[in-house]
Structure 1
């Protein structure tokens, strides 16, 4: 048996690989067609114009469902550990999963509504994704520490907390600087007003996004420890 077939670890592994592929492929298409600047465009900019918008929307939608599935499996795992050991907080688990669901809704809005056509809806989705995703990561980090030694190792707890903290630190300047800049442009010049602020916003956006990716990477070892089975209960008609 290969290590990536153990337990449910294929799920976060697929999520990480697919998410990275989404960003890289849409970025390569966008810069090849010269639709965006080579140096640090917004991630959404790389999927704003056809044909890359179709690729970005399609791959992001799959990534969203993979994210939801991963969050749900982690939720069920924490729930099971609590039932068995009482080591993890069920309340924290439910709150974390709720924020995770909201962040997934935000991801779908970003994937569906491009910033060049429906800017306000796109920005709402991005805000939900980044803010609620950061909160999800923080609460899951707290759950990991409280649940140790069940679930993940101490080192994994530290890595998880690091990426959650990095996401929180980066998400605030991402949103604030974006609001300050205001304008929607796929091409920037160093002489443009607010260019530096724009650059700070894009750098922080990439940091936040990759923090999420590496956060879910820490799930792989944990997901090797369990499987998830679906039980079907038939309702008998009287």
Structure 2
């Protein structure tokens, strides 16, 4: 069996993450549990807590698959003599698995039952994905099938997401350390809330910028096992080889 074009996997990962977040927020608001919830707040009480676990557990399963495809694509497009480049890809692949572990921990432990484990898992997921996206965007300048403009957009989006997440981390840190309370907390609550959602959406949508690269991969299942190969891009995208 042969599957030509594996872009459906990152697309599925992105759509699942965005749709899952939308459902979680709607359930939390409709149930009256929180009218302006942070993402972690949507996993505190049932029924949305059950959906929260399912959404992020599925993401933790799809994540390594996407990371593996990225790893294979970069290896196929690099020269064997480029040892530093290959090592960098292996490091990013490991980071992809760290992200998956953090996402699963975040899904299992809610901020109410085990806030420390939840925040560590969420931090591994957010920070790891941000680092992975920036490094991958930089390396793809050399190997991507995407246009130069798309490479610029990909890197700019990854860097912009990091800035937003830093603002979110600073805001949340000031809340936890009680550096911003009372009227100060009321003023900055909404900007910090928005920065978290924008950061999450930015990390999730980033995968779509590599659509062309994933579409060039082919998965073959035979008696010898599973093989992921790279098919050469043609000038006519309507007639792939």
TM-score normalised by the chain length of structure 1: 0.83
> Does the 8 A contact of 1:8 with 1:228 survive in 2?
yes
Q: Please report how far the alpha carbon of residue 72 of structure 1 lies from its aligned counterpart in structure 2 after TM superposition.
A: 0.9
Which residue does the alignment assign to 1:26?
24
Which residue does the alignment assign to 2:155?
161
Higher share of residues assigned strand = 2
Work out which of the residue numbers 204, 211, 221 in structure 2 matches 1:220. 211
Kindly indicate whether residue 171 of structure 2 is the aligned counterpart of residue 177 of structure 1. yes
Q: Please report how far the alpha carbon of residue 85 of structure 1 lies from its aligned counterpart in structure 2 after TM superposition.
A: 9.6
Q: Does the residue aligned with 2:188 lie in a helix, a strand or coil?
A: helix
Which residue does the alignment assign to 1:206?
197
Work out which of the residue numbers 92, 100, 124 in structure 1 matches 2:120. 124
Q: Please report how far the alpha carbon of residue 129 of structure 1 lies from its aligned counterpart in structure 2 after TM superposition.
A: 1.1
2:94 and 2:18 map into 1 onto residues whose CA distance is: 25
TM-score normalised by the chain length of structure 2: 0.82
1:145 and 1:87 map into 2 onto residues whose CA distance is: 17
Structure 1 residues 230 and 91: CA distance shift in structure 2, 3 A? farther
Q: CA RMSD in A?
A: 2.6
Number of residue pairs matched by the alignment: 221
Which residue does the alignment assign to 1:187?
none
1:151 and 1:93 map into 2 onto residues whose CA distance is: 17
Kindly indicate whether residue 110 of structure 2 is the aligned counterpart of residue 141 of structure 1. no
1:99 and 1:137 map into 2 onto residues whose CA distance is: 10
Give matches, 1:93-112, under 5 Å: 93-112=89-108
Q: Please report how far the alpha carbon of residue 86 of structure 1 lies from its aligned counterpart in structure 2 after TM superposition.
A: 5.9
> Does the 8 A contact of 2:141 with 2:151 survive in 1?
yes
> Does the 8 A contact of 1:138 with 1:164 survive in 2?
yes
Runs (5+) with no aligned partner, structure 1: 184-189
Which residue does the alignment assign to 2:109?
113
2:192 and 2:63 map into 1 onto residues whose CA distance is: 24
1:153 and 1:101 map into 2 onto residues whose CA distance is: 28
Runs (5+) with no aligned partner, structure 2: 226-241
Q: Please report how far the alpha carbon of residue 198 of structure 1 lies from its aligned counterpart in structure 2 after TM superposition.
A: 3.1
> Does the 8 A contact of 1:16 with 1:213 survive in 2?
yes
Q: Does the residue aligned with 2:113 lie in a helix, a strand or coil?
A: coil
Structure 1 residues 45 and 58: CA distance shift in structure 2, 3 A? same
Which residue does the alignment assign to 1:11?
9
1:225 and 1:87 map into 2 onto residues whose CA distance is: 24
Q: Does the residue aligned with 2:6 lie in a helix, a strand or coil?
A: coil
Which residue does the alignment assign to 1:77?
73
Q: Please report how far the alpha carbon of residue 228 of structure 1 lies from its aligned counterpart in structure 2 after TM superposition.
A: 2.6
> Does the 8 A contact of 2:73 with 2:213 survive in 1?
no
Q: Please report how far the alpha carbon of residue 232 of structure 1 lies from its aligned counterpart in structure 2 after TM superposition.
A: 6.2
Q: Does the residue aligned with 1:117 lie in a helix, a strand or coil?
A: coil
Which residue does the alignment assign to 1:194?
185
Q: Please report how far the alpha carbon of residue 156 of structure 1 lies from its aligned counterpart in structure 2 after TM superposition.
A: 2.2
